[in-house]
Structure 1
Amino acid sequence: MTTLLLEHVDTVFITFANGTYQWVDITRFRPPAEACEDRCLLGLLIAHDLYGDNHAGGEPGTDPTRHGPYWRDRITPDHFDPDAAATAEPQLRTWAEQYAQLREDTRAELERELYAPLRDATTVYRLRDLGTDAFHDWGGVHDEFHELVLIDRTANLLTLVVAADD
């Protein structure tokens, strides 16, 4: 019996450094060689140690019970809705530029690390708002919390994108 696992490839953290406290955390994984449908991949992501991240100053993998504002055990693959790059990209751009102008280096990094992979993804999923009932004991500290999962079957990558502001 083979255990299916995601292999961590790398992580890129983009801070806007413009006084807005906005940031984007991008974590890339290599899916298992065995065939795995999208819902299977989402389940593997949720189960991965690095998904245990409160995104509020702790290190990825050090908070096994929280993910972003939510109790981790309240998140299932069924909470991810299909999305499209044509919808998600303008929403993220609006969020990124709502408070202050982006520095040119930040704009270029977002294009390279976020927007281009988003457009290249085979499928895109968005974690829906789970509501305050799913908040952990101090959830809700982010003004906005956006989570996308990009599955690129051509490049054999699964990318977790968390964009938020503190």
Structure 2
Amino acid sequence: MENQLTHEASTFISFQNYEFQDPRSHGYRWVDVRHLRIPAESGGAQELLAALIGHEQFRDDYAGGGVLSAGSRHGPYWLRLGTPDVYEAVSQERSAYVLRGWVNQSGDVPAAVEAVLQQEVFDRLAAADRIYYLSRLGDEAIHDWGRVHEHFHELVLIDRSAGRITKNP
């Protein structure tokens, strides 16, 4: 199914692009949202997760180089260790709680950041049929310099009514 997922759009939200009361509060944080179109006749959630993991858009170490078609890393993890089994199904409440804690780790964010996060992340969480959280990878899965991603969170949203799978670390 990998070749049946089509990259539709991406949105990169860098907290550095917004005015914080304390300039250090942005903490070099960002959200990189990737939308992929799923075929109308797509399989179950595990098949969609496998297709996402196999897709080129998944091969990004989030260290500034972008998608690397021959890449061996995904965020802080070795790509070869990513399987659908390492994703945990979570509720909208749980996923919003995890993200809200990360967003507000240094205090409330400016209204402009909140507005774009609401539109690009939280509204999409509310619309998703299924939400998966990358949670079952241990220390052995962290690649040689992966610990630079101190607060890496990844959610995968399946929204069948929109015909889309979205991931956002």
Please say if 1:138 is aligned against 2:145: yes
Please say if 1:122 is aligned against 2:129: yes
1:94 pairs with 88, 93, 101, which one? 101
Task: Please give the secondary structure, in 1, of the residue aligned with 2:4.
Answer: coil
Q: Over aligned residues, Cα RMSD in angstroms?
A: 1.6
Task: Give the distance between the partners of 2:87 and 2:136, measured in 1 at CA.
Answer: 10
1:3-32 CA distances to partner (integer Å, 9 max, x unpaired)? 752100100011112431111110001012
Residue 63 of structure 1 and its aligned partner are, at CA, apart by 5.4
Structure-2 residue corresponding to 1:152: 159
| Contact in 1 for aligned 2:2/2:52 (Cα 8 Å) | no
Q: Which runs of 5+ in 1 are unaligned?
A: none
| Contact in 1 for aligned 2:129/2:158 (Cα 8 Å) | yes
Task: Give the distance between the partners of 2:42 and 2:69, measured in 1 at CA.
Answer: 29
Structure-2 residue corresponding to 1:12: 11
Please say if 1:49 is aligned against 2:75: no
Q: Which runs of 5+ in 2 are unaligned?
A: none
Residue 62 of structure 1 and its aligned partner are, at CA, apart by 4.7
- Report the TM-score, using the length of structure 2 for normalisation: 0.89
| Contact in 1 for aligned 2:6/2:38 (Cα 8 Å) | yes
| Count of residue pairs the alignment pairs up | 161
Structure-2 residue corresponding to 1:23: 30
Higher percent of residues as helix = 2
Task: Give the distance between the partners of 1:3 and 1:141, measured in 2 at CA.
Answer: 29
Structure 2 CA distance for partners of 1:82 and 1:68, relative to 1, 3 Å: same
Task: Give the distance between the partners of 1:61 and 1:34, measured in 2 at CA.
Answer: 28
Task: Give the distance between the partners of 1:64 and 1:32, measured in 2 at CA.
Answer: 25
Residue 138 of structure 1 and its aligned partner are, at CA, apart by 1.2
Greater CA drift, 62-71 or 106-115 = 62-71
Which residue identity is paired with 1:73? Answer: R
1:117-139 CA distances to partner (integer Å, 9 max, x unpaired)? 00110000001141220111211
| % same residue | 39
Residue 35 of structure 1 and its aligned partner are, at CA, apart by 2.8
Greater CA drift, 108-117 or 18-27 = 18-27
- Report the TM-score, using the length of structure 1 for normalisation: 0.91
| Contact in 2 for aligned 1:53/1:63 (Cα 8 Å) | no
